[in-house]
Amino acid sequence: MSAFSGKNVARVSVAGGIAATTLLLLAGPASAHVSVQPQGEAAKGGYATINFKVPNERDDASTTKVEVNFPTEHPLASVMPQPVPGWKVDVTKSKLAEPLKMHGNTITEAVSKVTWTATGGKSGPGIASGQFQQFPLSVGQLPQDADELLFKTLQTYDDKEVVRWIEAPEEGEEEPESPAPVLKLTAATDDEHGGTAGASSAGTAGAASKQDGAQNDAKSGDAKSGTASASGSDTTARVLGIAGIVVGAAGVTFGILAGRRRTA
3-state SS assignment for residue 46: coil
- Quick one: 96 exposed, middle or buried, by C-beta within 10 A (0-12, 13-18, 19+)? middle
Name which of 76-85, 144-153, 199-208 the model is least confident about: 199-208
Which pLDDT belongs to residue 164? 97
3-state SS assignment for residue 98: strand
Compute the mean pLDDT over every residue in the chain, rounded to the nearest whole number: 74
Full-model pTM: 0.61
Which pLDDT belongs to residue 26? 39
Cα distances (Å, whole numbers) of residue 5 to 8, 11, 13, 14, 215:
5, 10, 12, 14, 78
Return the amino acid letter for 135: F
pLDDT for 121-160, tens place per residue? 665 689 999 999 999 999 999 999 999 999 999 999 999 9
Q: Please compute, for residue 169, the number of CA atoms within 13 A of its CA located in the half-sphere on the CB side.
A: 17
Element (H, E) at 238: helix 196-263
Q: How confident is the model at residue 68 (pLDDT cuts 50, 70, 90)?
A: very high
Residue 103, sorted as left (phi over 0), alpha (psi -120 to 50) or beta, turns out to be: left
